Structures are given as C-alpha cells and as structure tokens.
Structure 1
C-alpha cells in the first residue's frame, strides 16, 4: 500500500516521535563521552594512543561492518524489538566500559558500536512507517538535531563530572539515557498492542488497511490491489526492488560517503588546522570547532522547512553550496574560519537530514527502507573510518593542510553531484516509492 493510503496507529504518533528523540540521544552520547576525558582514561587504564583512538574509531568501524547484518535483522524481528535491543546493548556496553580493565573497556566499546548500528538503521524504518509523507523531513531533522544536541551536552557535562567523581562514573552516568529509553519504548509497545487488540508486532502490519477502511475514503478494489502490492514489496528481495529505487540508493551511497568524509575529517582535524594555520590556542581552536557541531541543528531543521515548498533538489543544492564553502573558504580566506565552520556545520546537519529523508520517502516497504539505509550507511561509515587517518597521512607527508582540505573538497563535490541526481530522480517517484499505487 502506498504511503498516501497509510495511517499510523491513531494517537500513538506523538509518543513514537518522543521515542525517536530519546533514542537519538543514545546514538551518539556513548561515543562522545570518552572523548572529553581521554587523558584521564589513558592514565587510569594504561591504554596507548592507538587504544584510546579505538574508543571512538571502533564504533564507527562497526557501523560500516555491521550495517548489512542490521539491515537483514530488522525486518525479521521488527522495529520495536530492534530499538529495545539497541538500548539494551548501549546500556550493557556502557556498564562494561566503565567498570572493567582495559580489555573490557574495549569490549564494552565494541558492544556499544554494534548496538548503535541497530539504532542507526531502524530509525528511518520507524519514520517511514509512522510519519506522513510530507512530514518525513521534519521527523528526520528532529532525529538529526537531537543527536547533535546529545553530543554537545555530553561534551559539556562529562569533564566536570569526571573532575568530581572520576572518569568511570562520568562516562557511566550517560547510561541513564538508555534506561529511560528502554522503559519508554516498552510502554510504547505495550500501548500499541493494547490499541490493536494484541495484534502482534506493529512492524508486520505495514499496510495499515484498517485505517483507510474506517475512514471510508478507499475504494475496496483499489484497497485490495494496493494491499497486495504492499505485501509483495515487503517480501521481495533487494535485487527485485524497482530499478529506479536501487539507482537512487547507489547514488546516495556516494552522497553519504562524501558527507561522512567531510564531517569526520573536519571533526578530527579542524582544531589542529586552526592551531597550525591561524595560530589559535587549544581553547580557542576547540571553541571554533564546536561551532561546526552546534550549527548542525540549524541545518537539521532548515532542510525540512525548505523542502515544504521547494522542489526536491533545492534543499540538496543549498546544502551542497554550504558544504563547498567550507574547504573553499579555508583555502581562499582562512581568516574567516569561524564563518566557514558555521556554514559547514549547517551543511552537515542538513545533509544528513536530506539524505535519509530521500530514503524514507522513496522506499516502498519497511524491508526496503532497512536494506537501503544499511547500504547507504555501510558505505558512508566505511569512508568515515578511512578518511581521517588518510587526511592525517596527507598532512604529515606534505607538511601542510592544503592536501587534507582538498580531500574535503573532493568529498563535498561528490556529495553535490550524486546528491542532486538522486534528489531529482526521487522527486519523480509517487509517494511510497516507484511502483507504489496511489489510493485516491
């Protein structure tokens, strides 16, 4: 059944959106928390610089390696069960990382990475299933913004808690968010089962036929044909998905790779660039780099607002121009570094929202959404794992920052070209993806 003919379980949408907000707070906080106290962790555990680097690098690597498995698991166990598994894993990993010796710190970090991988993939599935077609961008923007807000709160809150109680308590305390999320989602599942009379996992009821029938707005023959189409879409393997949809996803793999390369390379090396090129001290360089993170909130909400009245390719074009301004500005006008940090930050928040809004609007079923999201994120996070070390090698080899910035420029150009093509193609899809039938 097309998205136009689907209706979320009535009365549940605000609670599901709140659940997405709480889940989003858990998808970056566990990774960011150790970065604020790496020195303390190293002194206490004896981990080398490489070992400390794994506290942030290992989860991102697992995002790339484990996403194909996550994409296959979610349709089998359902979206809600996946969310509960994600939050359980985050809590378990956080506890193990905070109480154990060095090897258990790394094991806990790995568990966190695997758990967050599930969360990364399942959120677009829930948004596609629950949110009306014209509000997908806003829901995705809220999800993206909350991840950034969680990251900033963690960076601000962890050091003072570490000074007062030690790094283990300071890192462990963020596990409370996982407990809150787990309890909240249990209540959501319980309420949904009650509303549906114990019908089982709501993710299996992808068609939502009863809503249209109750409203009296769906022709029975069209309803039956649409339901049959939806069931077929939910069961078909990826290779049988519409060619246009697979083409869009292939383009988005490159688009998200460009986004991830630009984001993680900038996040890793912008403070060093500012110190070496501009001569800023560590505090000033860190403050400027934080603008890159904070500004993402503007982009996350700006893209959906722009998409309401603009053509589908317009938000991508504006985000692309902002992304390009970052490397070009640092090359041509480095003295305006604060401006480029802000424009680049808006771009990284808006780019994430634009990419995953296209997936949620274009997919014809939960299975296609999970599979597409896994493919896009798998490629993007693999690029994110490789790009920062490569940029560091370029800096060491060339004894300067021009080559690393050119790497960011190449990544943003890839984002621009493939993102615009994908947006234009997806803009021709009917609601619910290519091959979906509108219910009038």
Structure 2
C-alpha cells in the first residue's frame, strides 16, 4: 500500500448487495482512511438493488462531505444505490448498467411490499433534489427516480419511477460517461489507475450478518424464547444460557457498528424486567406489562429504524411458534427430562415403586406448573410436570404417567 502519495493511488470502496447501516459504517471508515493516507481519489464500485434509506443518506452525506475527488462506477444502482451514485462528483456507467427506481417501499412479513406514503416519498425526493443540485445533475430526473407521479415524456410513464440505461443516463446528463471496465473508468475520469481496494473489515461482515433481516429477528426470538423456557423450569440451565447467548449476538451486531448503544440495551433489559414483574409479581395485565412491551419496542426501533416493525413482527411470530412447540412437545422428550427435570428433582424424588402408586391419583397444584412445579397428593408433596400446558396454582390435577422419577399430571376439569 502506498501512503502519503497524493497522486499515486485511487482507493476503491465496494458498495455491493443490500444497503444497510453496517455498510454505511464501512464507507465512512473507508473515506476517513483514504483522507488520512493521502489517496488521490475514491472510487465507489456500485452494484446494489437498494436497501435502507437511512443508511443510503449516511453514505451520501459522507461522500458529499469528503474533500477527495469521488467517482461512482455503476454496474447497477437501484433505489438507495441511485442516491449514492448521484452523490459522487463523476458517474461512469458500465455496459448493461442501469440507475434509478428509487421509490421507497414498505415491507412487512405478512403483506406484499407496497409504496411508502407520500410523506416518506416527499422527504426522499427532497434528498435526491438536494444531491442533484449539489452535483449539477438534472433535478427533475433525479426526483422522477423517487416519485412515480412525475411523468417524463418518453422516459417514464406516470405511476412508474424513472430508471435509465447506461446510454440514456449519459445522454441526459445524469451520468458523465460510459466505461468498459474499472480501469477505463479511472482513465476517463482522470483518476490514478493504480488502486487500493479497501476490504470490508471482519467486524463489518459480522455486523451485516447479525443485523440482517433474516438473522436479527431470529436471534431476538430465540433469546426471548430461551429465557421464557428457563422461567418455566426449575434452576438455571441450557435454555437460559442459550437465550443469553442469542440476545448477546443480537445486540453485538448493532454495537459493532453503532446501530445500538447502551440506551437500546438498557431499554430492552428494562422491558424484559417489567414483563417478568407483570407475570410473577403483579396480578392481571397492566402498567408494568404495557411498559415492558413499549420499552422493548423502543429498543428495537432505535436499533432498526424503519425496519423495526418487520423485525419485531418476525420475532413475535417465531416466539409464538416456538413457545407452542416447546410446551406442547418438549416435556415429553428425553431431552427435556435430562435438561429440565431430573437434574432438579432426581435427588429428592422418592423411589419408583413409591411413585408408581400415584398413577391416576388426584391432587392439587401447590405451585404454578410452568410446566414443572409441585403438587400435593393427600399428605405428600411431589415434584411434577404438566403434559405441556400451564396449570395455575390451586388447580386440581390428575397423574397421567409415572416414568422413573418423573410424574406427569394433567389439569382435571370440573
């Protein structure tokens, strides 16, 4: 690597795949490094279908703010990628490339993607307009990439955001020239042809994985599910440990790139604490429960912004499904016996022959069964487990199975 040579090398920053906040952190760090090490210019290799608007705005602001010459080499720049491309001082279009289609959309896990509301469209259109003005590009064409209500005769029908081919983008002044390769683009732009590619740091790669829309909701859900299972079983074991690990990974992704900080972690933990208080200390569902949900929702929103609804919805669905499957089937498995019950009650359990006499017996739950707990049969207190359902304290229960030291009960109706 050449350092301190102001005209010797162009630094290349790859903007590929989905635009997200970790990628924004990578671009900001890359620009800071290029400035510190005396790069002659910075080249952005752009091949993206788009992504988060807030991340694209951060990248755009960073590019506009650097004192170094900037060049965007476009393979494909849709949506957020179009804004990033327009932010560079020069734009080179590769063969077969396109730029545009920046209509913001709303994505949820239960509906088809839909166009964002007019307020969101207006805000993003204003950003495209400001960037186009700053770089001397056609303002109306930049706005038409965002707003489908803008009709450009011969280019975009009303109701469709503007997308331009390489030749059309150059013809209309949106891009500066076409190039056959990166080297060709560097030569035509007057940049040094010797390049230094700034690789994506490991922490950014890890953060992009952990905060992706496919991973983050699952980590959040598994973390909550692990803690939930632990609450319903005696002692502290593998479910609780795994839950803490999943939540640690969930927050680690955001902490690595500044998506979340101490505030988000504190809000989340406070929300969990309030929900636990509502479940175990406060009867009914009231202020503590509502406050807990709001605190957790705020933590997710501050971390994921506009995508928080999708992240939260996916997490809720996974937790609900996981809770059903866990408490419906786990108590009947050998794994559950080993992890949940026998370590907790095996040493105190009466011999098998004494417990066998309890089959079919009626008793009273003297603790909540979540699913493990204690029931009284006559004068005897016995550690029991329900067959999967939650059984509140004071309910009448019947022993339906005795397996070793494991006594399975079912709530007796009527």
Give TM-score scaled by structure 2 length.
Answer: 0.28
Judging by fraction of residues, say which structure has more helix: 1
Q: Which structure is larger by alpha-carbon Rg, 1 or 2?
A: 2
User: Which structure exhibits the higher relative contact order, with contacts defined as CA atoms closer than 8 Å and separated by 6 or more residues?
Assistant: 1
Q: State the TM-score, normalized to the length of structure 1.
A: 0.26
